[in-house]
Amino acid sequence: MNINTVKDYFLSLQKDICTRMEALDDTATFKVDPWIRTEGGGGISCVLEQGELLEKGGVNFSHVTGSNLPPSALAHRKDLVGAAFEATGVSLVFHPRNPYVPTTHFNVRLFVATPTKGEPQWWFGGGFDLTPYYPFLEDCVHWHTVARAACLPFGETIYSRFKQWCDTYFYLPHRQETRGIGGLFFDDFNEWGFGKTFSFVKSVGDHFLLAYEPIVKKRQALDYGTAQRNFQAYRRGRYVEFNLVYDRGTLFGLQSGGRTESILMSLPPQAAWQYNWAPAAGSAEAELYSDYLKPRDWLAAT
């Protein structure tokens, strides 16, 4: 296990994603903001705001250490209470301006925990998911086709396993709806050994923009109006609800004394809530609820 090799890949991935997204949005650039964490470690936050494509986007790298794992990291690892930890990862959220371009989230991470007695334990986590406001079936199929391609070298069942995990994780129980159309999600993952698991994480990282860029290029010039922006703001409210109530990464960052500005970078620049609102029957907004905000076999949807 070599955490420095993982860090080097994560830093390279952060730089590559920022460069390629700036090429799609040539009206703005990412502000690079290095930071140091008092408790140990630090990171680099790259944030783009008020671009023509991205109304707000951020790509965070972090490498932090601590003397005790916080509660959010111990949900499935009670044996590591009191363990020191080291964690590194890349996490991003893109909130496009155009409502026809989906919001997306991506994350890859490595944890190493050293209990007071025993050997260090490591595990990876990560994945990517898509949150459209006005979805296109062909985009959803493309997204999941690339997700499957990222998994296929590691076994025929990996995509379906982590696709189902994503559908389960990015779910709002109080709304009884998924956050979007899913993708891949995995956590506490170390069953293959370090080398193969890290290779899988790199495959997920390398496939993210292969999934997202073509969708952006197809949709970023579509015309939209006030009604579409209002619905986008309403649906962004769901994103806020999930990140502040359920997301383990947000909870870990806040509970471990992380940098608040970087942790909450994932929130959209504008969001709205409207009391007891429902879309009109037969509308494009109603189609999102009826056809897309539920687990579905997207590879069989053509």
- Residues designated as active site: 105
**Which sign, positive or negative, has the C-alpha torsion 51, 55, 56, 59?**
negative
Cβ atoms of residues 131 and 100 within 8 Å: no
| Distance set, CA 181 to CA 126, 130, 167, 184 (Å) | 16, 6, 8, 10
Centre a 10 Å sphere on the Cβ of residue 167 and count the other Cβ atoms it contains: 19
Helix axes 194-219, 3-24, angle to 10 degrees: 10
| Cα 199 from chain centroid (whole Å) | 19
**Which sign, positive or negative, has the C-alpha torsion 101, 102, 103, 109?**
negative
Cβ atoms of residues 86 and 64 within 8 Å: yes
